[in-house]
Amino acid sequence: MINSNVQEAINQQIKNELYSAYLYLAMSAHFEATNLPGFAHWFRLQSNEEVEHAMKLFDYLNDRGGRVELYAIDKPPNSWASNLAAFEQALQHEQKVTGLIYKLYETALNENDYATQVMLQWFIDEQVEEEKNATQIVEQLKLIEERGTAVLFLDKQLGKRSGEE
């Protein structure tokens, strides 16, 4: 049986992961509405990944004999002033999620829950990748804004992302 503090922290993180999915789906809708289907595609896949993360936690909690409790998810914004603003928010959001994962890991550490610590290592590694990807796109968009070209090229590149990443 899983410790009640760890269980509560995992339930909160399930909510956080589902909010991430909701946020990225809203960003996908925004880019569909602004005729950037590659950007929309990238965020749709990002949303799907976040659902997978939530389900990984959901299944883990069930496997440990815990009780999943689903909490209300806040409404995300639905438009952004620029392409850069959307990706900057995505980067800030990923940085926030990294902090939340660290707090969850700290809870598992304080409760001597070694199995959860091991499971969370995957999430820690994933956050390094998520922040790297978002940072790279933010920096590319800054270059595009400085030079005033190539946003459609970047959009096409983002549209090539497969669901395997």
β strands within the chain, DSSP E: none
- Domains in the chain: boundaries: 4-159
pLDDT band at 67 (very low <50, low <70, confident <90, very high): very high
| Residue 123 reports pLDDT greater than 70 | yes
pLDDT mean over 15-43: 98
Whole-angstrom Cα distance, residue 126 to residue 105? Answer: 14
For domain 4-159, give the CATH superfamily. Ferritin, core subunit, four-helix bundle (1.20.1260.10)
Q: What is the pTM of this model?
A: 0.89
| Residue 160 reports pLDDT greater than 80 | yes
Best CA proximity match to 7, nearest among 100, 69, 72, 71: 69
